[in-house]
């Protein structure tokens, strides 16, 4: 269990430093938005099950709501990460999975 926790924390750090959401051309990294750990936990379980694919990652991101305007609106995380960021996320996940 401790190993899994360390792996998730390591994955979260990598995601948080390299993947961002784009709002009005502002880049807010997932660590600064406090979303990196949620993303890492869900994607780690996806990697463990051997179901890592761009489509599955997209589905996971679609299921993570981002609250905007003090709760006035929720937007799926997938809608806020630009395509370049999603490609970067896949690269991170594929490399992490190879090292598992």
Q: Number of structural domains, the chain?
A: 1
The model scores a pTM over 0.85: yes
What is the tens place of the pLDDT at every residue in 7-58?
A: 999 999 999 999 999 999 999 999 999 999 999 999 999 999 888 999 999 9
The residue segments making up the domain with residue 55 are 2-99
Token pair belonging to 93: 């996940």
Residues 18/88, Cβ–Cβ less than 8 Å: yes
Give the H/E segment covering residue 73. strand 73-76
Residue of higher predicted confidence among 2 and 57: 57
Q: Does the pLDDT at position 89 exceed 90?
A: yes
Q: Does the pLDDT at position 67 exceed 90?
A: yes
The predicted structure's pLDDT at residue 3: 84
Rounded distance between C-alpha atoms, residue 92 and residue 76, angstroms: 21
């Amino acid at each position: 269990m401790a190993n899994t926790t360390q792996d998730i924390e390591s994955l979260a750090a990598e995601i948080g430093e390299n993947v961002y959401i784009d709002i009005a051309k502002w880049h807010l990294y997932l660590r600064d938005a406090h979303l990196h750990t949620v993303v890492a936990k869900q994607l780690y379980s996806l990697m463990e099950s051997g179901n890592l694919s761009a489509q599955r990652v997209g589905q996971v991101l679609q299921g993570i709501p981002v609250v905007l305007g003090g709760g006035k609106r929720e937007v799926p995380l997938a809608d806020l990460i630009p395509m370049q960021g999603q490609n970067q996320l896949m690269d991170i996940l594929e490399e992490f999975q190879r090292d598992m």
